[in-house]
Structure 1
Amino acid sequence: MSLVINPGSGPVSEATEEHAAVNITVFADDLRRAGLGVDSCSRTPGADYGDGRYAFALAMTDGRTIEIQMPGLPVDKVRFRDPEKQNIWDFPRLYVDDSSLVWKFALGACEPDEDGE
């Protein structure tokens, strides 16, 4: 018997930094569409997990910096948004400040806490 606790949190094979760079741009655009201000996004290779995810720092307009570990697969293989049309088991997780989440929930994790942080 095998037990899967966090599907999609394992290594991402065949990942590339180029795909991750495209993905983080789409992710930042999704945050903006959700009403969150993203000033800039920068690559932080020293923070890479080394498992097919690539580290980026999102500078938010409210002064926060959020670390995103973005899977380096084509965006359609990473961007889980609709449980009615997509199978969550088919998507790798992003890491938002070290918490693993699929895309849809990673967006929500970027919202400020109730105390504004």
Structure 2
Amino acid sequence: MKRTLLILGVTSIFVASLSAFKPEPKTEPAVTINAPAIPKIATMQMSGGELLINKSDCIGCHHKINKLIGPSYTDIAKKYPNTDKNQLLLADKIIKGGSGVWGKIPMTPHPKISPSDAKLMAKYILSLKK
């Protein structure tokens, strides 16, 4: 019993002495950053039509470059010249939907999109022709 108390006493003193030990925090030299050394980040600007497309469900079937369920925006731009007539035609297709031009899968109508917003979306899509 005395031996156990002696071992517990020595152990608690040892643990207490370790808890009092606190290593000095390592300090690193301060780094000064000069404003000219920081590169300026280019801000991306989206057109109104692109913003409307990104907010809508269009991205579920269409992609800017790759064909998904529907054609890519760049493929649409290749097929239709960027004219007012084609902007109105595509705006009408966005609102009313359509089928047969790009295959058997129909495009769902989007009656909640206003004609002016649909025209902005079509104008953006047709601007992607390279």
With normalisation by structure 1, the TM-score equals 0.22
With normalisation by structure 2, the TM-score equals 0.20
Write 1 or 2 for the structure with the bigger share of helix: 2
Write 1 or 2 for the structure with the bigger share of strand: 1
